[in-house]
Amino acid sequence: MYPQEFEYFCPETLEDAVGLLSKYGEEARVLAGGQSLIPLMKLRLASPKYLIHLGGIQGLSTIEEQDGMISFGALTRHAEVEESSLVQAKLPMMHDAVSMIGDVQIRNLGTIGGCLVHADPAGDMAPALLALGARVNTLSSNGKRTLKIHELIVDAYSTDLGEDEVVTRVLVPIPQKGSGGVYLKFERRAGDFAVASVGVQISLQKDGTCSEIAVALGAVGFTAIRARKAEELLRGKQVDDVLAKQAADQASAEADPFSDIRGSAEYKRHLVGVLFQRALKIALKRAGGEEVDTVHL
């Protein structure tokens, strides 16, 4: 299995990378960790004539805290996100999600930028980052832009990026104290993509009323979906089992799954409800300061 021939570039600056992309247009493709692009190239579903590897650019894989955000360079590998003490302490939902991506070898090479731009409907970064209200910074020959996750990912495997536009950083706001987040994924085989996944970030007032909530669903639509009606049911209320069940039914209704090798649409819709209720319970516990392990559920 060999890809079509291509010319390879390894520029040292972002500006040079953008310059090469502008020059070669739609015949060029960016290479990050290669964990999605190389399989596509081997199957010749992608045959770029010019491959522009970002790996030679310094400073694109740092994780920094600034102005209430955690900022990730686009080339930060999944393993680096997983091991980051900042992420473990301040973005538990993101830690859950990244630990569930593929297996060790995939996480050792795959990057946060590549995972978002590949825009697999069953990818794990998009739902978690959608629920967290993350943004991405980009650079192109037209200058810089900042996009929300749903503005970046417009359809299955499609983004709003221009031909010569690269993602440079991913910015994730740190939820305030008293907020709890979790990401749960259901997979049939170790290391596989999700059959369905749910991310919940909930903030509670002192009396336990839900002041803010974000719910994102993964693998049950062409892109990650915000379950906004389910959120509405919970906002401003004390969450009890009855309300949780109503919200779960609502989240199932908002899912837009298709039947495929991983399960029927009906089954996936059901899974969303179950995962949502489990996730809500854990998010509430975490909001109360409790530590809950999700990887070994």
Partner 1 sequence: MPQAYRSVEITVNGLTYNRQVEPRRLLSDFLREDLDLRGTHVGCEHGICGACTVLMNGYTVRSCLMFAVQANGAEITTIEGLAKNGKLHPLQEAFWENHGLQCGFCTPGFLLSACELLERNPDPTEEEVRVGLSGNMCRCTGYQGIVESVLAAASKMKAQK
Ligand X SMILES: Cc1cc2nc3c(=O)[nH]c(=O)nc-3n(C[C@H](O)[C@H](O)[C@H](O)COP(=O)(O)OP(=O)(O)OC[C@H]3O[C@@H](n4cnc5c(N)ncnc54)[C@H](O)[C@@H]3O)c2cc1C
Residue ranges that bind partner 1, judged by CB under 8 A: 1-8, 10, 31, 34-35, 38-39, 42-43, 49, 51, 53, 55, 79, 102-106, 108-109, 190-191, 295-296
Q: Looking at residue 56, what DSSP letter applies?
A: G
**Which does residue 28 touch among ligand X, partner 1, none (CB within 5 to 8 A, set by kind)?**
none
**Which does residue 10 touch among ligand X, partner 1, none (CB within 5 to 8 A, set by kind)?**
partner 1
Distance, CA of 113 to CA of 137 (rounded, Å):
10
* Nearest approach, Cβ of residue 110 and partner 1 (Å): 10
The enclosing H or E element of 7 equals strand 7-9
Please, which residues have CB within 8 angstroms of residue 128's CB and are 6 or more apart in sequence? 93, 94, 96, 97, 98, 183, 199, 216
Nearer to ligand X, 125 or 280 (CB): 125
**Which does residue 216 touch among ligand X, partner 1, none (CB within 5 to 8 A, set by kind)?**
none
Supply the angle between the helices 241-254 and 265-287 in degrees, to the nearest 10. 140
Nearer to partner 1, 100 or 220 (CB): 100
Q: Looking at residue 176, what DSSP letter applies?
A: P
Distance, CA of 82 to CA of 96 (rounded, Å):
8
**Which does residue 51 touch among partner 1, ligand X, none (CB within 5 to 8 A, set by kind)?**
partner 1
Distance, CA of 192 to CA of 123 (rounded, Å):
10
* Nearest approach, Cβ of residue 247 and partner 1 (Å): 31
Nearer to ligand X, 187 or 231 (CB): 187
* Nearest approach, Cβ of residue 266 and partner 1 (Å): 28
Nearer to ligand X, 81 or 204 (CB): 81
Distance, CA of 91 to CA of 281 (rounded, Å):
17
Nearer to partner 1, 10 or 174 (CB): 10
Q: Helix and strand tally (H, E) in the chain?
A: 12, 14
Which residues contact ligand X (rule: CB under 6 A)?
29-37, 39, 54, 74, 101-102, 106, 109-111, 113-115, 117-118, 120, 123-125, 161, 166-167, 191, 193
Distance, CA of 56 to CA of 8 (rounded, Å):
12
* Nearest approach, Cβ of residue 106 and partner 1 (Å): 7
Distance, CA of 171 to CA of 173 (rounded, Å):
7
* Nearest approach, Cβ of residue 60 and ligand X (Å): 8
Nearer to partner 1, 113 or 273 (CB): 113
* Nearest approach, Cβ of residue 212 and ligand X (Å): 26
CB atoms within 10 A of CB 28: 21
* Nearest approach, Cβ of residue 161 and ligand X (Å): 6
Distance, CA of 227 to CA of 219 (rounded, Å):
13
**Which does residue 104 touch among partner 1, ligand X, none (CB within 5 to 8 A, set by kind)?**
partner 1
The enclosing H or E element of 99 equals helix 92-99
